[in-house]
Chains A and B, each alone.
Chain A
Amino acid sequence: KAGVTQTPRYLIKTRGQQVTLSCSPISGHRSVSWYQQTPGQGLQFLFEYFSETQRNKGNFPGRFSGRQFSNSRSEMNVSTLELGDSALYLCASSLWVGSYEQYFGPGTRLTVT
């Protein structure tokens, strides 16, 4: 079974721009969660989507948003990029909402200059 895939793997953007990252979950998994990883803050939860609805949200500003499609694929968007948004963005899928057994993709490395 194919794992979680994320595109693109690397991205360089300029301050003030916006970016959209994509995640395809494992086949049959209906929940998708997004995490941000930085050297200073470690891994932090952004949000979780299930059945096209956001079910849970971490402590991030409204510039961070996401959505989920009917095929469970998910996108996250960051608007008005700041230098501090440079990070590894990880997507994880699970069978059900609220599951602690999650399967992560390789991440998208975003650099904001």
Chain B
Amino acid sequence: DAKTTQPNSMESNEEEPVHLPCNHSTISGTDYIHWYRQLPSQGPEYVIHGLTSNVNNRMASLAIAEDRKSSTLILHRATLRDAAVYYCILPMGGSQGNLIFGKGTKLSVKP
């Protein structure tokens, strides 16, 4: 099963870009990389997912290393509302769609 490693916490200043890393050295060739975030007192929120190429949507960008052993979620201009726990999620063997959440990275945004 592919395992993910994320820093426990990160800090950012408001309106600056944030790069949230995730290592997944045992990823298999067909594993999509998903990112979720959980704002305080809310349910998790889907952010983005990708396979090989970099991906962009209205919330964030996902940069995937060429060897796919790591990825980076990029928030282009952090706002106070982006303060949350960010989870990098890969499929686990036999999980068939159930999300396996690790501890994630707690992002703090300073005004």
Q: Which residues of A contact B (CB under 8 A)?
A: 4, 31, 33, 35, 42-45, 48, 55-56, 58, 90, 92, 94, 97-107
Contacts and interface: CB of A to CB of B under 8 A. Distances in A.
A42 B101 contact: yes
Contacts of B30: none
Contacts of A48: 96-98
Interface of B: 32, 34, 42-46, 49, 89, 91, 95-103
Where chain B touches its partner, the secondary structure class is loop
A69 to B, nearest CB: 20
Contacts of A45: 95, 98-100
A58 B98 contact: yes
A101 B101 contact: no
Given A100-B89, A101-B34, A56 B43 contact: no
